[in-house]
Amino acid sequence: DAGVTQSPTHLIKTRGQQVTLRCSPKSGHDTVSWYQQALGQGPQFIFQYYEEEERQRGNFPDRFSGHQYPNYSSELNVNALLLGDSALYLCASSLEPYGYTFGSGTRLTVV
């Protein structure tokens, strides 16, 4: 049974560019959450998607947006990249009342 799959695993972008990260949830999971983990920090909640709608949102600017498709897969989009957006981006899927399964993450470097 495949777990959470994220792509790409690594990428490098230039300041001001836009980026799209992708997540395929664990089979049977209908909820997808995104987290940003800066170097040496704990993950920070960005937002959560359920039934193709943003259900909760953390303290992140509107440059961060997302989408969930009918097959429950999800995308995280970041516009106007800043150097401070460099981080590991983690996707987690879940099916209530069960717990979360995390992917291995996408390492984004902004130069």
Task: Report angle CA 5, 11, 17 to the nearest 5 degrees.
Answer: 120
Q: Give the CA-trace dihedral at 63, 100, 42, 68, to 10 degrees.
A: -10
**Binding-site member from 43, 49, 85, 87 for another protein (CB under 8 A):** 43
103: exposed, middle or buried (C-beta count within 10 Å: 0-12, 13-18, 19+)? buried
For CA atoms 99, 29, 51, 96, give the dihedral sign: negative
Shortest spacing between CB 97 and another protein, in angstroms: 5
> Which of positions 92-111 make contact with another protein (CB under 8 A)?
92, 94, 96-97, 99-100, 102-105
What distance lies between CA 64 and its chain's CA centroid?
10
Pick 22 or 102: Cβ nearer another protein: 102
Candidates 22, 45, 65, 73: give the one binding another protein (CB under 8 A): 45
Under the criterion CB under 8 A, does residue 25 sit at the interface with another protein?
A: no
* Interacting residue ranges for another protein, rule: CB under 8 A: 4, 31, 33, 35, 40-45, 48, 56, 58, 90, 92, 94, 96-97, 99-100, 102-105
